[in-house]
Structure 1
């Protein structure tokens, strides 16, 4: 495949090793263990949400083992955009690129609001939204300073965040009671009934939040030293780490006391710990401060991910070319970093339209991000099947195990998630579809620019070969 390049753009530098990629894989997601998932308890209850999470975890594990084949075969900063474009042409590339943009641009404001909520526990007078904006400014700057610095920082805070989750489980374990976890566990009822099924399905977006964005490692593929070996190791180790942490955190938090007090809030872990150790315990203050590492790890990592997606789309002519220009000193896509930040900060202050359907701002931002992710998962699995048929000779350093069963399960699971989410979140689904429609109008209007980029790249390739 020939990679087209917008005028003025340059390539990213391959500097990342396996451990750093694992740090990105886990760090991108680990905030999902700290907040967001407990909104699923509000509709499904603890036991109902446990069922939802088992299904979603199986889907994600199948997806990652399948997605890794694409990432190693086509190591491109655009990730799913590059796979779908290769499989289905420019329109397929547009749909996947737009879906990833929505996923990765809307996830950071939700995480930033959670950072603000955690800080508000320590400083009640601090406005969570202003704290969220401050987080954007700090971590956009860090991402601009260089990928090696950013990835090393990501690894360190990810390790701290993982240790802190283990500490949380250890501290609440003396007060853990399975009776607390199971009481009213079926959407508020003690016994399973058909009425609980609706809650189980409605909770899907919040189970997805446990694992959302792990696929962002694909956007770092161009910056990996040895993507054929390091990416499979990072992906597989990453998904296993996250599955173990997700179930551990959920079960221990639910068994700490009255779990209904933890639903619909942005800081369930500190509040769960309060139920065991009280409000003045040093353990609680430690969790609040170190818990920020988990939120920061994902926030920082997803900024890295959305910037690479914007950069890749601009480099190929799908977005304005200036967004593909790298910083002259740090060689990072600084304009792409800033552009995504502007959208995220705007979302933080968009209460009027992002509090649709009576849900909280954070819940709706999470749902919007999940819609983008699920569409991208579907397109990626379809791309895997299409490329297996159309390009059987494509070099695949890692092949999806149990093909076609595993990718088919991931595809079917993603389809179920998309359909049920649209049913239970009709207003957010309509806004999501509106974003895609507006983007498609822009896609059609800029066809000439993409053809110009391709022609320029073709001429440069021809000159280089003579």
Structure 2
């Protein structure tokens, strides 16, 4: 059994610097969760669930809580870079760890490009691709300089975004356009609509995985990670619930579902159009925060997979001074920059939510094996069932593309094993 304060025995080579405390880890998680998703996810979720939006949010929160509990226990046991890639490999076998890592790296790389393009669309719509590339280069440079610099920048971003969201809540709830009757929950959209909304909203909660993915850079991981993950998730849930209630009270489920920019439309409907540019700026900053955390997470999972030769071994090198996986970071930054410069992937990443749910399904299955006590297995069981249910409740295009991406990964794994066979 692996000791809580050590890396799994299969992790070779230099280790990353343990520099993050509880506060830093919470900030990294919040930077991933309280990101651009809250500015965009409410509209599609409202279209799916109608007046059942808040119920969908509750379902997503329950599944996220179970996943967070499983991730926290696993990260304390296996405090190495890679998150569920490492947990699946150690608890279930090489294939399941690989599948989780593949789903994460491919899906989140596309998400990185989408977040970069979101920054460009808000900052300079006419030059969105150029701004996106500049954002990727700048944030890759920040990450290259060490995890503490990344945590410092994330702290600033989180403070700005929370201030903007607080302003939206105060303006909406304090306006004459707010009506409590618009918050009534009913099942007119059916269970399928509520579950689809939950699947879409879950994507916005998934950032707490970044804390686990950075497990090799957290001080006293057995204590820090189990505290940081539920704290970050709890704060994000309070923020999301407050924003959802405020926006719904002004726009109603139908208006929210039809809104292209829900938070900006809400403050305009609340009679404060002067706040619209502030909300747009907040969305751009939030997208930067999500992009920063995504690059961190993808590069660490790339490091873990490179250590096991599922990706080129050259990507497993750790910088001797900054103690970061600098080659993995540069490789991820280069791929994301190319995508952001050449392809508009914002409308083609539906499989990302599917991939995230597949990733957490492996995490819950891994946590199930930690302790045979029934009460300790309750959260992993609910989390696993929730992930599978929400994954297949997503729009059929997302399910089809996500399944295809996973199949490509399985095929690549099979070819690699066949080529390595004596």
Mark yes or no: TM-score above 0.5: yes
1:151 aligns with 2:157: no
SS in 2 for 1:387: coil
- What do residues 90-133 of structure 1 show as CA deviations (whole Å, max 9, x unaligned)? 1111111112213422322232233233325xxxx533333323
Contact 1:117–1:267 under 8 Å retained in 2: no
1:37 aligns with 2:42: yes
Aligned residue number for residue 464 of structure 1: none
Aligned residue number for residue 69 of structure 2: 65
SS in 1 for 2:42: coil
1:50 aligns with 2:54: yes
Aligned residue number for residue 256 of structure 1: 250
Alpha-carbon distance change, 114 to 451 in structure 1, aligned in 2, over 3 angstroms: same
Aligned residue number for residue 370 of structure 1: 353
Instruction: Give the TM-score, by structure 2 length.
Output: 0.88
Q: CA deviation at 1:333?
A: 1.8
Q: CA deviation at 1:402?
A: 4.0
Aligned residue number for residue 403 of structure 1: 376
Where structure 1 has 5 or more consecutive residues not aligned to the other structure, the ranges are 355-360, 393-400, 453-466
Alpha-carbon distance change, 37 to 103 in structure 1, aligned in 2, over 3 angstroms: farther
CA distance in 2, matches of 1:138, 1:431: 31
Alpha-carbon distance change, 5 to 86 in structure 1, aligned in 2, over 3 angstroms: closer
1:384 aligns with 2:354: no
Contact 1:161–1:290 under 8 Å retained in 2: yes
CA RMSD of aligned residues (A): 2.8
> Comparing 409-418 with 269-278, which one deviates more in the overlay?
269-278
CA distance in 1, matches of 2:404, 2:164: 40
Equivalent of 1:230, from 208, 213, 224? 224
> Comparing 403-412 with 88-97, which one deviates more in the overlay?
403-412
Where structure 2 has 5 or more consecutive residues not aligned to the other structure, the ranges are 3-7
Q: CA deviation at 1:198?
A: 3.6
Alignment of 1:264-275 (within 5 A): 267-275=261-269
Aligned residue number for residue 456 of structure 1: none
Alpha-carbon distance change, 5 to 87 in structure 1, aligned in 2, over 3 angstroms: closer
Contact 1:38–1:206 under 8 Å retained in 2: no
Contact 2:31–2:290 under 8 Å retained in 1: yes
- What do residues 398-428 of structure 1 show as CA deviations (whole Å, max 9, x unaligned)? xxx942222221122112112222xx32x33
Aligned residue number for residue 241 of structure 1: 235
Aligned residue number for residue 81 of structure 1: 85
Alpha-carbon distance change, 329 to 420 in structure 1, aligned in 2, over 3 angstroms: same
Q: CA deviation at 1:87?
A: 1.5
Alignment of 1:324-403 (within 5 A): 324-345=316-337, 347-348=339-340, 349-351=342-344, 361-362=346-347, 364-365=348-349, 367-389=350-372, 402-403=375-376
Contact 1:87–1:383 under 8 Å retained in 2: yes
Equivalent of 2:24, from 14, 20, 23? 20
Q: How many residues align?
A: 413
Aligned residue number for residue 203 of structure 2: 209
Instruction: Give the TM-score, by structure 1 length.
Output: 0.80
Q: CA deviation at 1:374?
A: 0.7
Contact 1:83–1:380 under 8 Å retained in 2: yes
Larger Cα Rg: Structure 1 or Structure 2?
Answer: 1
